[in-house]
Amino acid sequence: MTKRQPSPRYIASRLDAETQLPEGKTERFSGYGVMGLPFDSGHILALRHFPASSIGPGYSSVWHRTPRGAWTFYSDVAPRQACARFFGRGIERIDVTPIDIDWTGPTELIVTVPAAPLEWSIRLAATPATRALNMASRLLPEALWRNRAVLSLMGKTAASLLDLGKVGLHGRAPNGQAFIANPRALWLVDESVAVLGGEELGRPAPREPQARLGDFWIPNRGVFAFGQTCFERLDPDRHATATSAAAAGTTAPA
């Protein structure tokens, strides 16, 4: 008899209670998020929730991209302890603000960012393809999660099976640090409604051309993942330290 996979809400609650970081000397994060969700209005949203971080307290972050290509990153900790540490040169604006993630059901959650203001409801769904990928990930030896050739193959396989467009599980972030992403369990975003500043963002839909931040491609279909991410340690001699394009005195690429 096949063992039933726990619900996303259950896994999230366990992570919040007892998340452990992967071993290593890199800058490491463990948690979950919506890797990216494009809407037919041209807006894009993404969510990161990392209860465990090797560089500071756990945190949440919401990313928003306007139809003209401007990124705003919201986070509930200082930018240098959050995603802007790695993606700053690609961000137009950052905002430190409370972020609330409320799991309203086994596969439903609502993300609220009062400062935006944003209310974003998400419903997740498992499919035969996500179940197959999740089973394969459980069987993968731990050492292979750091193998870039294996990660490239995993990204191409997931992109093909889930119709995600390009997927980059390793590469360099806009500030120059090398990264590796390890999505250990996946669900698709089945339904989503987002209201930003009183405007409904529309229906989830692919975006052409596909958006990216450095070598991290925003999936062209909403996908939710549990996993870990590792970044090269920040070296001010080799990496940008700006947490936004404005702070760097440049313009973020569209």
What is the average pLDDT across 34-49? 99
In a domain, residue 171? The reply is yes
Q: How many domains is the chain partitioned into structurally?
A: 1
Report the distance separating Cα 125 and Cα 7, nearest Å.
10
| Strands annotated E in 147-196 | 170-172, 178-196
177, 234 contact by CB (below 8 A) = yes
In a domain, residue 251? The reply is no
In a domain, residue 253? The reply is no
Report the distance separating Cα 177 and Cα 219, nearest Å.
21
In a domain, residue 31? The reply is yes
Which pLDDT tens digit goes with each residue over 48-94?
Answer: 999 999 999 999 999 999 999 999 999 999 999 999 999 999 999 99
Q: Cα–Cα distances in Å, from 169 out to 18, 74, 177, 206, 217?
A: 25, 23, 14, 19, 9
24, 30 contact by CB (below 8 A) = no
65, 211 contact by CB (below 8 A) = yes
Residue 251 has pLDDT above 70, yes or no: no
**Phi and psi for 109 in degrees, rounded to 5?**
-145, 155
In a domain, residue 96? The reply is yes
pLDDT band at 35 (very low <50, low <70, confident <90, very high): very high
Q: What is the CA 108 to chain-centroid distance, rounded?
A: 17
In a domain, residue 168? The reply is yes
In a domain, residue 190? The reply is yes
> Whole domain around residue 38: which residue ranges?
25-240
Run of H or E residues at 149: helix 148-162
Which pLDDT tens digit goes with each residue over 132-187?
Answer: 999 999 999 999 999 999 999 999 999 999 999 999 999 999 999 999 999 999 99
In a domain, residue 18? The reply is no
pLDDT band at 1 (very low <50, low <70, confident <90, very high): very low
